[in-house]
Amino acid sequence: MKRSGGKDPLTATPGFPIRAAGFSLVELLIAAAVGLVVLGAMYSVFTIQNKTFGNQEQIVELQQNVRAAMDMMIREIRMAGYDPIEVNSDSDPANNFSGVPVNASQLQVRADQNSDGAIDATSEENIVYAYNAANKQITRNIGAGAQPFAENIDAFTFAYLDGNGNVTAVSADVRRIEITITGRTARPDPAYTANGGYRTYTLTSVIALRN
């Protein structure tokens, strides 16, 4: 229906209808392309953040692993030579024992924890730490065979020191033990070129013997 003296409201010009509001195919393609670019950028950011988080998580786990191993070893080494009934000072040399027998390939800790005057070689009175290079482990043996104590270990070294801080090979002169543990991440990081992709953490402690 036309208004008197006016134009048909459904046509802008005679014979041509007004185009309904909407998007053309070209506009939809452009919008889709822009959306894909934005999604790609967001995915890249997410991937980078996720990788960074994973790397940081491995580093934290590595540090905790090395520190936990060191803390336990410190507690046990400080007990070395514990001799509550003083068998090392009596008149019978046959029952004497060394708290830390010097050995280059293993770290042995001996203590008379049950106060019976003897070292039980099949208990925690006789602890042997050693490094298993093939499996990247520090092992702990209390008489039932070497058991994994710390995993993902690149190096485990120790030195026996006398009262002046000098290295000694005499068990009776040992007053301190210097321990160094180097751990590595459980998995390599392809973006980290050093050390085969494994990040490392080294911790050194000097433990004074109490007994």
Alpha-carbon span 91 to 108, nearest angstrom: 25
If you ran DSSP here, which 8-state letter would residue 194 be given?
A: G
Token pair belonging to 56: 């940081």
Alpha-carbon span 98 to 90, nearest angstrom: 14
Locate the domains of the chain by residue range.
45-208
Token pair belonging to 124: 């925690």
Which residues neighbour 3 within 8 Å (Cβ) at sequence distance 6 or greater? Answer: 9
Q: What is the DSSP string of 137-172?
A: EEEEESSS--EEEESSEEEEEEEEE-TTS-B---GG
If you ran DSSP here, which 8-state letter would residue 3 be given?
A: P
Residue 87 has what pLDDT? 95
Alpha-carbon span 62 to 181, nearest angstrom: 11
φ, ψ for residue 201 (rounded to 5)? -145, 130
Q: Under a CB-based contact definition with an 8 Å cutoff, are residues 11 and 18 in contact?
A: yes
Q: Under a CB-based contact definition with an 8 Å cutoff, are residues 130 and 105 in contact?
A: yes
Residue 158 has what pLDDT? 98
At position 38, the amino acid (one-letter code) is V
In which residue ranges of the chain is pLDDT below 70? 1-22, 46, 48-50, 52-53
User: Which tens digit of pLDDT belongs to each residue from 138-186?
Assistant: 999 999 999 999 999 999 999 999 999 999 999 999 999 999 999 999 9
Residue 53 has what pLDDT? 64
pTM for the whole structure: 0.76
Residue 56 has what pLDDT? 84
* Closest to 179 in 3D by CA, of 67, 83, 64, 60: 67
Could you tell me whether strands 147-150 and 126-132 are parallel, antiparallel, or unpaired per DSSP bridges? unpaired
Residue 14 has what pLDDT? 57
